[in-house]
Each structure stands twice: as structure tokens, then as C-alpha cells.
Homo-oligomer: A and B are copies of this chain.
Amino acid sequence: MLIVKKFGGTSVANKERIFHVADRCIAEYQKGNDVVVVLSAMGKYTDELIKMAKDINEKPPKRELDMLLTIGEQMSVALMAMAMNQRRVPAVSLNAFQVTMHTTSDHGNARLKRIDTERIRRELENRRIVIVTGFQGVNKYDDYTTLGRGGSDTTAVALAAALHADACEIYTDVDGVYTADPRKVPGARKLKEITYDEMLDLATLGAGVLHNRSVEMAKKYGVPLVVRSSLNDSEGTVVKEVTTVERMLISGVALDTDAVRIAVIGIKDMPGMAFKVFDTLAKKKINVDVILQSIGRAGTKDISFTVNKDDLEDAVATLEENQARLGYKELHSERNIAKLSIVGAGMMSNPGVAAKMFESLYNEGVNINMISTSEIRVTVLINEKDGIRAMNAVHDAFGLTD
């Protein structure tokens, strides 16, 4: 078997943890398996490097920032190879140039295009554990790039796809995917299996275990993903195309408090106006989520939508710059909101799921501001202060609580 294992920054934050990860990988290797390990930068080292850069240049050129950031993972992989060597197990570390990891040229947010597997295969044939830098790539100009958020997960999945690995294990500080965040919902249960689509919705909704880019890629190439704990040996959650365990109606409840709502008030009621608003934002690469359009007074429309907190400033600035062209009257924004979602492949064939969710919220006295649905997801916008109470109520209503 060929196994790709990915460990995040906290898993390699110090000497003890590095050896802990080394020993886990060695145990796999000693079963006779081929092992490829993908690592992030140690602890908060990437943040430290960014701080170092900004101390020199408030807006460092992205090409040079990537040049600086890639040293973080190179440090991790070199130290990991030394730790395995200390245990007398042959290991070799490889950076993006050595693999090679070909990406697009968008510094800070590059996409993987192609991975050369020759070097890795040769090292595996020589029975070495291969340790690869996550998060980084090389563009066609031979410059370093970084993959942005969730980059190391994406590296791991892409490597698993390119190497036709038997499994891609993502080690995190939780021991799998839960029906809800256990810190917020004490009775949350760990799922044995979940589909790519459910995981995608959970990832998008900020359930936080896996980044959606990596799940999308796993789905596209049919890479069997496993989410496991880096701290214990429990089995984790398998993410795959179709799950075989008996389906619950919904798989999980997710709460996202990183969203803010923007309301564009008094847009002329003409065709194409909504398009113009969202197109203007899209050109600034601002993602828009839950959208509500309503008829205002005197032949005008109001459009509300959510964006990520980090994009609020940009979104408002962009809309204000374009006020004349978009022809709206006012702009409001609301920070104290939360997005509560239920996700489950089981709900497709079960009408009444949404109704059940709304009922439980009504019983709990929680106001719903906006609603958005997909085939396997229902999302409602509520007040942030109601978030955790609402989450628990819905979790209970669907019988997910242990």
C-alpha cells in the first residue's frame, strides 16, 4: 500500500511532536507500506515570517513573500528527515523544486497544475520515507509559489492522486468529522464515513476540518481521504464518494460566525442590476454567499448577501466606488450574524428536513433572517448571539446527540 500522510503545523511545532509524527510514520513504514509525508511549517512560523516581511515592507511583493514563506516547510521536512534518521529509518526530504510541484503563477494563491512523480517513486523504490513540503509550488518561470489557505491539505491530496495512493490521511487536532463542533455541542458524535459532497458543504460552511479545495480535488480524482487525530490512534472519518454505513438523515450541523451581511438598498428595479452588483464583487475576487433579493419601495429592489469577515472592507469599498454605476441608495452592513447549516446526502430524498430545522429553531425562539438551500444542505442566517443555542437545538432535533 502507498499512504500519503499530512500533518499540520501544530503537529510538528516542537522536537517532541516531530518525533511523535516520525514514529507514527515509521510504524506505517514498518508494516511494509510506502509512506509519503506532507508537512506544513512548524507551529506559527509562517505567521512569524509574514511579520518579518511586513517589518521590512508593509506590502511585500507577492513573489518575494512566497520566496520567504517556502522556507517554513523546508525547515519542517529537513528536521523530520533528521528525526527519522535518528530512529535509523531511511528518509529523504523534498521541496517543491525537487518534486517538482508545478503550479499556476498566482503568488500567494496558486493552483497545482501537475506533479512530477519520478523522484518520489525512485525514493520509495529505495525504501525511503519521502517527506514533502506542503503549501508550496513552482511556476513556469521557476519561481516559488504558495497555494494559499488549506494549501498543505491540497498538496497531500494532489500527491495522493498523482501517485495513485491507497489512502490520503489528513492528521488534525480533532479525531475526525463530527456531527457538530464538539466544543460547542457537547453531545456531538464522530462520523465513520461522510461523502465528498457533504464534506464540501461542511468545509465551505466553516466546519474547519478540511479545506474545500482539498476535498474538491479528492472528489475529482476519487482519492479516499481519512481525517484522523495526530494525537491518538482512533480511526477517524473516511471521506469518499458513497458511504456504506446506514445513513442518518443529516450528517452534521455547522455554525459559521465568520460571515457578515451586506445590504444594498434601493437598487433600480431593472433587469441585470443584481448581476452588476455581483459581477463587480467577483472581479475583486470577493466570494458572495447566501443571497436574498426583495422588492423595496417605489419600484426599487433591496439585495442582501453575506461575505467573509475578511472581505467586508474590500466589498464595501468596491460597492461605494461603483455607487453611481450600480445606482443604489444605501449600503448597510451587519457583523453580528451567524450561518447555521445542516448537511446530509440523506435529505435529498426526505422532504420536510428543512421544515424540521425551522420548527426546532422556532421552538427555541431563534429568528431566521435569510435562508439558502442546496440538494444536501439548508443554511439559515441568524443572530450571532443565538448561534450555539440554535446549533444544539437543531443537533438534538435530528437525533444526532449521543
Contacts and interface: CB of A to CB of B under 8 A. Distances in A.
A15 B82 CA distance: 31
Interface in A366-396: none
Interface stretch (A91-99, A103-111, A171-179, A273-281): A91-99
B78 A67 contact: yes
Interface string A34-57: 000000000000000000110111
Interface residues of A, number: 36
A159 B102 CA distance: 28
A58 B85 CA distance: 11
A30 interface: no
A63 interface: yes
- List the number of copies, as a whole number: 2
A79 B52 contact: yes
Nearest to A64: B81
A18 interface: yes
A75 B64 CA distance: 10
A321 B82 CA distance: 30
Contacts of A71: 71, 74-75
B67 A74 contact: yes
B64 A86 contact: no
B56 A83 contact: yes
A77 B82 contact: no
Contacts of A55: 15
A249 interface: no
A208 interface: no
B56 A18 contact: yes
A233 interface: no
A53 B79 CA distance: 6
A79 B56 contact: yes
A15 B77 contact: no
A296 interface: no
Contacts of A95: 67
Interface of A: 15, 18-19, 52-53, 55-58, 60-61, 63-65, 67-68, 70-71, 74-75, 77-79, 81-83, 85-86, 92-93, 95, 97-98, 119, 142-143
7 contacts: A56-B79, A56-B82, A60-B85, A61-B85, A67-B93, A70-B74, A98-B143
Given A53-B78, A98-B143, 8 more contacts: A19-B56, A56-B79, A57-B82, A61-B85, A64-B78, A67-B78, A71-B74, A98-B142
